[in-house]
Every structure is written in structure tokens, then in C-alpha cells.
Amino acid sequence: MFRMFYPDQWYVSSWSIDYKALYEAGYRGVIFDIDNTLAVHGGPPPQKTLELFAQLRALGMKVCVLSNNKEPRVRSFAEQVDCFYIHKAGKPSKKGYLRAMEQMGTHHGNTVFVGDQLFTDVYGARRTGIHSILVQPIDPHEEIQIVLKRYLEKIVLVFYKKQGGKLKKG
């Protein structure tokens, strides 16, 4: 019933994922959500995000940030981490994911998506046929509409765990 919202993997954070293993498995592009995935909502990229993006470039990975936020926020973030970007993506619509892969020169079979929300990030990636990785949100203080969605996400994650899904610490 909830399978369409299940991530392929679930990690504590974006920084705990083994990107080298993903590269060795054939992945060549990473699409990230921004807020609460790589930085606190509305905040600049922390040092560990800057280091992560440098690591990804050193591996030979293409990177794009995909956000439903407005261009000033997304462009500024993308410039600081030096990557492609898509703003007002309309997640969970497939359109933004497809544009991100086009920018990176990747396809659904060699692209992974990393985000903190099941109903926008993971669902959109799954609809597009992209390997999806859910991460726990960085900051528990969120806008009310997201807080309400988090309660529904908890229900989905209970079923995900019953199906064998596990939170990986890295």
C-alpha cells in the first residue's frame, strides 16, 4: 500500500552515505534536495556539505540540487557548492528530476536521489525510476505543513521497517 513511498535506502544523514560504493556500483550522478538534507532550512551549506561536494567531484560524480524553493535560494546554494541546480522543481513531479539528469548527462539507471521527505523527494525519485535515499532531517524545527507531513511519514516508515527497511548509520 505504501510501497510507492519507500526509499531504496535510508541513512541517518547525507554525510553518512558511502558515495564511493555508489560510484563503484555504477552511479555517476547525485541529485540532492537542499533544505534539511544538506543544510538547515534557508541556511548556507555547512563545511561538511562543501567537503562532501568536493569529495563527489573527486570521485567523478556529477551533482545537482533539486528544490521546490525559489531561484534566489537555490542558485545561491548551488553556487556555493559548485553544482547544477533546478529551482521550483514541482516535486514530486518527474519533470525536475528529468531536467536534473539532462543537466548532468546521466539517466535513471546511473543516478541516485538524496532527500529528507517521503512524499516529495522519495516519491518523485521513485516515479522517475531513480534510486532513492531517504535521510533524516537535519533540523527538527520545521514549518507547520512539513511537521504535519512528518506524522504521516512515521506511519509509512513503520510499514517500511516491517518490510525489512532499516536505518543505516553509515
Question: Looking at residue 82, which CATH number applies to its domain?
Answer: 3.40.50.1000
pLDDT of 167 above 90: no
Helices (H), the chain: 19-24, 47-59, 71-81, 94-104, 123-128, 144-162
Residue 145: inside a domain, yes or no? yes
Residue 170: inside a domain, yes or no? no
Under 8 Å between Cβ of 63 and 57: yes
Residue 109: inside a domain, yes or no? yes
Domain limits for position 70? 3-163
pLDDT tens digit sequence for 4-37? 999 999 999 999 999 999 999 999 999 999 999 9
pLDDT at position 142 is: 65
Residues in the chain: 170
pLDDT of 72 above 80: yes
Q: Could you give the number of structural domains in the chain?
A: 1
Residue 113: inside a domain, yes or no? yes
Residue 169: inside a domain, yes or no? no
pLDDT tens digit sequence for 27-66? 999 999 999 999 998 899 999 999 999 999 999 999 999 9
Strands 131-135 and 111-115, bridge-based pairing: parallel
Say whether 158 sits in a helix, a strand or coil: helix
Q: Is the pTM of this model over 0.85?
A: yes
